[in-house]
Chains A and B, each alone.
Chain A
């Protein structure tokens, strides 16, 4: 009988991991806590840097999972991982030969950064809200008008000691550039300003897109972090920052303020780590055995990692890890590592 591998999480990493395991002759079982496959990518509209619709990634994966007869259980929350056994919230125990954690990460809750007024006053949105509005074709201010001026703030809930999130979330810079272009396409007359501390354009085509945003779409980039936002009588939002390149405080009122929220570690990581013995990194993400040849191995034998469960990553990187992890699981199960 083929060996059973539990894949925790049915996002893109989990699905790709299961597909790769299946093609290597194992019997993967996907445990997904929500009611559907696809994870966070399923909520996204277009993907950077190519503006590819997100469903071009999720739909083929979901279809392949079905066509390959991969076992999927939805609405299953894992509460404990022991060696070769996973325990669900219902108390059910599932025996297995290895576990791959593909449980991803959590979007930063922007209400914690109270100074930006998210959830307190109108016209403050997160990057995830904008994706949702684009999916529903209803991007507009709270009063339903077309925005004339939009500010996009980078690094919300990342690189911030005050909210205990020291890491860089990696994908929000390019998302800020992508959304600036998308908003400009929707509202050609709008002025768009991205406020940043550093611009991190590490991937292929990212720097090019940044340049395109500046030249072809006239997006303004201001080097300074918005320090606070306050509501105006007319419902607009006033923001303050230092324009650090001129060394002067800057003030501006905008119709929309969009916060580029980061990826933080799942709260569940704490008990998944303590039950399994796989260690966490100081930022709460799962720790890879090392950053090089063993990056998909946790610190515990038999427990593997793929996707953003170990650090913020792009979709491409997550999918690469998913393919790699299947081979490492195979090595482990066939040769005892």
Chain B
């Protein structure tokens, strides 16, 4: 019988690309290859109306999705109001609202 030591093993924090399934990530990138050009400058997050009030971080969520970390991404993207401020600023010209919609579409059942 297992002894209760009063602590549990926490979920590993590592982004394990060996075990993550990149299928959905690749689907999103195939639909919008320009997303791969993100340089992580943070202009989107800095300008984001939702991100200034909540912990929502557009850059972080879509980066995690690209690495195959899908948990919670759909719920996070629901915080986006599709105002498009981020799109005005993105130096890579990424269609950021399309990113939001694609993630919601691909990961809706996640």
Contacts and interface: CB of A to CB of B under 8 A. Distances in A.
Interface in B58-80: 59-60
Interface string A184-214: 0000000000000110000000000000000
B108 interface: no
B20 interface: no
A225 B91 contact: yes
B80 to A, nearest CB: 15
B59 A249 contact: no
B60 A198 contact: no
Contact of A227 (B40, B47, B60, B93): B47
B52 interface: yes
A242 B88 CA distance: 16
Contacts of B44: 242
B39 A162 contact: no
Contacts of B84: none
Interface in A82-139: 115
Contacts of B40: 197, 244
Contact of B39 (A197, A228, A241, A248): A197
A160 interface: yes
Given A159-B91, A161-B93, A197 B47 contact: no
Given A160-B91, A161-B93, A249 B39 contact: no
Interface string A228-249: 1000000000001111100111
A155 interface: yes
A248 B39 CA distance: 16
Interface string B27-58: 00000000000011111111110011000010
A205 B89 CA distance: 33
Given A162-B93, A197-B41, A244 B47 contact: no
A284 interface: no
Nearest to B47: A227
A118 to B, nearest CB: 16
B105 interface: no
Given A197-B39, A197-B40, A224-B46, 19 more contacts: A161-B90, A161-B91, A161-B92, A162-B90, A162-B93, A197-B91, A224-B42, A225-B46, A227-B43, A227-B89, A228-B46, A228-B47, A240-B47, A241-B46, A242-B46, A243-B42, A244-B41, A249-B46, A249-B48
Interface of A: 115, 155, 159-162, 197-198, 223-228, 240-244, 247-250
29 contacts: A159-B39, A160-B91, A161-B91, A161-B92, A161-B93, A198-B39, A224-B42, A225-B43, A225-B91, A226-B46, A227-B42, A227-B43, A227-B47, A228-B47, A241-B43, A242-B43, A242-B46, A244-B40, A244-B42, A244-B59, A247-B59, A247-B60, A248-B57, A249-B45, A249-B46, A249-B48, A249-B51, A249-B52, A250-B46
